[in-house]
Amino acid sequence: MVIRIFFFVIITTVFIRSQEIGVKAFTDTSDYEIGDYIHFTVSVEYDKNIFLMNPFFHDSLKNIDLIKTESPITKEVGSKKITEYKFTLSRYDSSDVTIPALPIYYKLAATNAKISPVITQELIKNDSTLKVVFSNPISFTVHSLKVSKEEDIKDVKEPMTIPLDWKIILLWVLGGFILLALIILIVRKYFLKKKHALKPDKIIVLPPHIRALNSLNELESKELWKNGMVKEYHSEITEVIRKYFEERFNYPALELTTSESIELLKNYSEAKDILNVTRDFLTNADLVKFAKFIPIASINIEIMNQARTIVQQTIPNQIEAMKESA
């Protein structure tokens, strides 16, 4: 046990450095029980002439649930800056878990390049001034809860016997008679006297893609991001698309993370053409909603274009529409 703790201390204090920037990742311990909160921290120490990009770790955390993402904290120590990213994780099955090395992208001030607030695959591929450094991997163990098979299952407290109160029973009986009388009155007044009433008008239900496009047009007309309500804008636009996914593909998109939603979309052949644009759309919105990043104006415009593309490219053909209406 002593050797294991010593090994954990060595692993979690490894500091991966380049000439200008260093990253270390650590958890508060190496042993947890099922359902425990796992406090995971990534600390980045870098020179003041470095522009630190906005990292996004959600898709790198496999086989473990992300409970909470805290806002990054930056402080200055001498000629350096230190930014810490804190996550609360949990796992509900016993296993040895390893969080892989996580990438931190950055640029030097000398590059004189335009700084994008969002990391995308296209940016990583095309921007030659972009640099990256990786954190150390972290391993820990999640144990099952200890249960004694020899002891009997016991109640938290002995059952209580509530004595009968005839006044309460009479009140319930009286209330039942009153309710029955109201039901009979309503049936005679509204149902028996309206046997020949006109049929109600047929309710026209718009298909999901029409409702989604109407919602996007309405949101665009509000001009939220132009009035400083950037977070509200990104929250509403992702809610429209997630609700559309629920109605179009019949899975609980409003309750899933970005990575979980993308994985489910892969099961639908009609969604294969929107996987990349959906991943970029949800990732950009998550950065604004959860990491408090402020996008430039073109990003706000582009995310509306992406939303419309997602809906328009998944409109069912005539045969599918007939099956859905049936």
> What's residue 64's pLDDT?
86
Residue 147: pLDDT band (50, 70, 90) is: low
Model confidence at 12, pLDDT cuts 50, 70, 90, reads very low
CB 96 within 8 A of CB 63: no
pLDDT recorded at residue 9:
39
Percent of the chain past pLDDT 70, that is, above it, reads: 77
DSSP H helical ranges for 21-94: none
pLDDT band at 141 (very low <50, low <70, confident <90, very high): very high
CA distance 122 to 111: 19
Q: What would the pLDDT profile of 21-80 be if each residue is shown by its tens digit?
A: 899 999 999 899 998 999 999 999 988 888 877 776 766 777 788 888 888 899 998 888
- Read off the pLDDT of each residue in 232-245 and give the average, rounded to a whole number: 88
Write down the pLDDT at residue 136: 92
User: Looking at residue 110, what is its pLDDT?
Assistant: 62
β-sheet with 50-52: strand ranges across: 50-52, 103-108, 131-134
**pTM for this entry:** 0.41
Mean pLDDT over 163-168 rounds to 76
Reduced to 3 states, what is the DSSP secondary structure of residue 75? strand
The model's confidence at residue 319, banded by pLDDT at 50, 70 and 90, is very low
Q: What is the mean pLDDT of the chain?
A: 79
pLDDT band for 326, please (50, 70, 90 cuts).
Answer: very low
Please tell me the distance from the alpha carbon of residue 88 to that of residue 79, in angstroms, as a whole number: 30
Amino acid 116: pLDDT: 56
Which among 304, 131, 173 has a CA at the least distance from the CA of 233? 304
**241 closest CA partner among 222, 223, 256:** 256
Looking at the domain 2-143, which fold is it?
Immunoglobulin-like (2.60.40)
Identify the residue with better confidence: 246 or 126: 246
Pick from 110-124, 257-271, 292-306: least confident: 110-124
> In the prediction, which pLDDT does 26 show?
93
In this predicted structure, the answer to whether residue 1 has a pLDDT above a threshold of 50 is: no
Per-residue pLDDT at 13: 39
Average pLDDT (198-222) is 82
CA–CA gap between residue 246 and residue 274 (Å, rounded): 15
Query: Could you state, in order of their start, the residue ranges of all structural domains in the chain?
Result: 2-143, 208-325
pLDDT score of 154 more than 70? no
Alpha-carbon gap, residue 40 to 137, rounded angstroms? 11
205 or 14, which is more confident: 205
pLDDT of the residue at 263: 87
Name the range with the highest mean pLDDT among 63-72, 206-215, 312-321: 206-215
Return the higher-pLDDT residue of 257 and 157: 257
